[in-house]
Chain A
């Protein structure tokens, strides 16, 4: 079955450590995204990538980094510079319709807790 796989589902990090969240898709989608979700704040875009070896900052990129070396993979690193990293992180990929419109498909999320 095609889909998006995020791992791990739960992640604990000590303050001052970098941590990498995995996102893999086998939908053959060009575009991939990372969102952060906090209670009552909806989805906020961290980074997105339209094509391999290219990515753009979203609304809240500070303290995060990404890479896109393969079409299937878009890992997110939460660095020690991120002041408040505890949150639910969602990865998505999208298909593009005629006229440029897109539809997003989501992974099951990773809950990161800083201890």
Chain B
């Protein structure tokens, strides 16, 4: 069965610094991979998704992620953090199953 592991439940960066949120997946077949963002008391919003086309995927709000099959990773990055990026981020995987599997989430804090 597919699964994802998010390394680090909390990440703190300074405003303007690089954001790196880590996600490793497990899947027996080529997966689709997703990053979602959640602001307090709101639902999850899709940031970006990998669906076996380009390995470098660009999303909203300046985020991007790179699919690395050899490392089974799909890390999320943003060159320069903004205060508005503070939120919870979820990585998710879908292969041939009937549902998606989500990581435990990473809370991003941005310090002024």
Contact = CB atoms under 8 A, between A and B. Distances in A.
Interface of A: 4, 6, 9, 31, 33, 40-43, 45, 48, 50, 88, 90, 92, 94, 97, 99-109, 111
Contacts of B36: 106
Interface in B67-83: none
Interface centre among A40, A43, A94, A97 (most CB of B within 10 A): A43
17 contacts: A4-B43, A6-B43, A33-B99, A42-B90, A42-B103, A43-B102, A94-B99, A94-B100, A97-B32, A100-B95, A100-B97, A101-B31, A101-B32, A102-B94, A104-B100, A109-B41, A109-B42
Interface residues of B, number: 27
B99 A111 contact: no
Nearest to A6: B43
B51 interface: yes
Contacts of A97: 32, 51
